[in-house]
Structure 1
Amino acid sequence: HFPPYQWHLGAEALSPVRAWEFDAKTVLTVGAEHPEFGRAVATWVGQVVADRLQKTRIRLLDLYAPHGSGILP
């Protein structure tokens, strides 16, 4: 939870995407009332963030490291 709970984020896609939008207050309320649901949402978000960070790391290594990431396409 990060006060003041106001987020202004945006994105652009260069190809078709699948996206979800949730009301944060509702998700927080339901997660507090149903801990299993809250854990599932947190796990899902964590997996997405971890995957994106790993892909970003590999791209940066391919761009700037002397021998790249070591992962062949």
Structure 2
Amino acid sequence: MSMLETSRTVGLTNDALTRRERVVLAELAEDVTLEEIATRLFVTRNTVKSQVRSVYRKIGASTRAEAVAWAIEHGIR
């Protein structure tokens, strides 16, 4: 983890994510597409994409794998 990545996630708690963002993040840990997540959550794929971007920004992730690792580390999965 680089210094930039460390500075982005230091002090960030699960509370920084909305309930829906936590649900979407947990869904990302499954082997499913964004379309499948959207169907499960009764929203559009674009809504899920928007929520995923927000999660990535808040936790400092740039890939799904980084986001899933963060979720596991923070007990969201």
- TM (norm. structure 1) is 0.30
Higher helix share: 2
Identify which of structures 1 and 2 has the higher relative contact order when contacts are C-alpha pairs closer than 8 Å and 6+ apart: 2
Structure exhibiting the larger radius of gyration computed from Cα positions: 1
